[in-house]
Amino acid sequence: MRGCWLERCAWTLMVVMGASGGLTACSGMDRLGDVGEPGEMDGNQGSSGTGAGDYGAQAPPTSPYPEEQPEETFTCAGLDEESAAVLYLSSDDSNSMGSPAQVRELLREGIAPSPWTIRTYEFLNYYRIAYNAAPDGQLRIVPQMQEAEEPGLYHLQIGVRSQDPDPVRRPMTLTFVLDTSGSMEGIPMARQKAAVEALSAGLTEGDVVNMVTWNTTNAVVLSGHMVNGPDDPGLQAAVNALSASGGTDLESGLAFGYQLALQHYGPDRLNRVILISDGGANVGVTSAELIANHSEDADREGIYLVGIGAGPASGYNDALMDAVTDKGRGAYVYLDSTQEALEVLRDRFDEVMEVAARGVQVELTLPWYFKIERFYGEEYSEDASEIEPQHLAPGDAMIFNQIVRACDPDVIDLEDPIRVTARWESPLTYERREVAVEASVGQLLAADTKQLIKGRAIIAYAEALKEGDSAALRNAHDQVVAANPNGADPELSEIAQLLQLHPSY
């Protein structure tokens, strides 16, 4: 992914956000006088734009990260105080969160994860950073700012929160494309069955389920099966009968799956293809085009693809799921246990499956003297065409975390405004929506920093795993513990324990 530095006067920063969730929003601008809710941002290395890494468990290139060029000292010389720069950012789809669970399984086995398997923005997606829900039909923007370790350096985080899920779900057509090749024997098959059962818990009477299995041959197990509820006996019997044997033929398996998904497509339904595999197959050009075409129908909501990795982590290659969900615009999750299936696929069903706001973009205007020092999202660019808009899920938040630097600490004016504007489309009618929030630098620095502190702790964890040395791991552990002084946050408590399991800790 591409990214760039913009060392120019004023910043107008456009952030592209993704997830799957439904939201409409009001237009207009709200003056943020009570900046009580902190915001989050995804961040990566500003100069490379690839920060969290784009590799799966496959063999890395010669070096996992491109060699960075020495940077010139950032000064105010030549900056135009009247000019603004526009930047487009992506944190990846907000429900793409496979990396953290895969890393957790490795650490619990005493294995150091490879740096190129760690995508920091997925850690911000996976771990929950709580924001108040947006009003119905809107997005809530929460910017937050905190002084960093040296003068003129600041942590900046923006959270963009959707409305809570509708308690009554729309009808669904789910098409399961299940890997039954020989490598799925044992743990992967148990996790695959648990995944189908966990998703089935969200079904109601009248929902439609299709099921295709694939190894060297393909079998249509269920076609247009209308369930009677979450414990449908026909679906349960199909799950119980799954077994592993043979080789892999993902191409035809996906083709069969999309045929069934199209055959039973409902314009008023949530239509999803769900691919579950241990990652042992490759995606050819034909499958990639098939997935992309069905996910981006210009006249109706697409058939998005949700990818579920079944592991086990020690031999898992996540390139398959990372690639297909990027094309398919759906969630990517990894199951490191059968319990994880319940916690992610059942308890976070809407976050994984639904769409609240389509093609979300966020525009951030910063004072002229700031630049991005480090960005922890997927990518950013001055050119909007290089950044693909993403979706936001109901009950979810996009997190954009970055470090900004002033060209000279003495030129900072606490009265200077920071403005954040979110633009998106409603999920079914494609109606354009817009909302904006503005606050001064001083207001942001005086506001609550709770969510920003957790975001920084999560980033410290992921980045320390990339470095992999004792000093980085112990420093991250200290930061995580400090962010959770009373031990009240179970996620931060788990992260602290996982850091101690690293072989180099």
Domain CATH code at residue 274: 3.40.50.410
Residue 3 within any structural domain of the chain: no
- Judge if 347 and 407 occupy the same domain: no
| Neighbour count for residue 110 (Cβ, 10 Å) | 9
Q: Is 91 helix (H, G, I), strand (E, B) or coil?
A: strand
Give me the number of domains the chain comprises: 2
Q: pLDDT (tens digit, 9 = 90+) per residue, 335-392?
A: 999 999 999 999 999 999 999 999 888 888 899 999 989 999 877 777 777 777 788 9
Residues near 330 by Cβ (< 8 Å), separated by ≥ 6? Answer: 20, 93, 95, 272, 273, 295, 304, 305, 306, 307
d(CA 214, CA 223): 15
- Average confidence (pLDDT) over 36-55: 38
Q: pLDDT (tens digit, 9 = 90+) per residue, 423-437?
A: 899 988 889 999 999
- Judge if 116 and 190 occupy the same domain: no
Q: Which among 26, 28, 25 is positioned nearest to 437, based on CA atoms?
A: 28
- Judge if 304 and 419 occupy the same domain: no
Residue where a domain terminates, one of 353, 374, 408: 353
pLDDT over 70 at 20, yes or no: no
Q: Which domain holds residue 305?
A: 172-353
Q: Prior bond to 143 cis, omega within 30?
A: no
Residue 1 within any structural domain of the chain: no
Residue where a domain terminates, one of 334, 353, 372: 353
Residue 5 within any structural domain of the chain: no
- Judge if 377 and 490 occupy the same domain: yes
- Judge if 205 and 345 occupy the same domain: yes
Angle between helix 250-263 and helix 285-295 axes, rounded to 10 deg: 20
Q: What pTM did the predictor assign?
A: 0.86
- Judge if 86 and 123 occupy the same domain: yes
Residue 197 within any structural domain of the chain: yes
- Judge if 292 and 372 occupy the same domain: no
Residue 4 within any structural domain of the chain: no
Q: pLDDT (tens digit, 9 = 90+) per residue, 391-411?
A: 899 999 999 999 999 999 999
Residue type at position 348 = R
- Judge if 307 and 183 occupy the same domain: yes
- Judge if 130 and 191 occupy the same domain: no
Q: Which among 316, 383, 415 is positioned nearest to 114, based on CA atoms?
A: 316
- Judge if 365 and 465 occupy the same domain: yes
Positive or negative torsion for Cα 325, 121, 25, 419: negative
Residue where a domain terminates, one of 353, 381, 403: 353
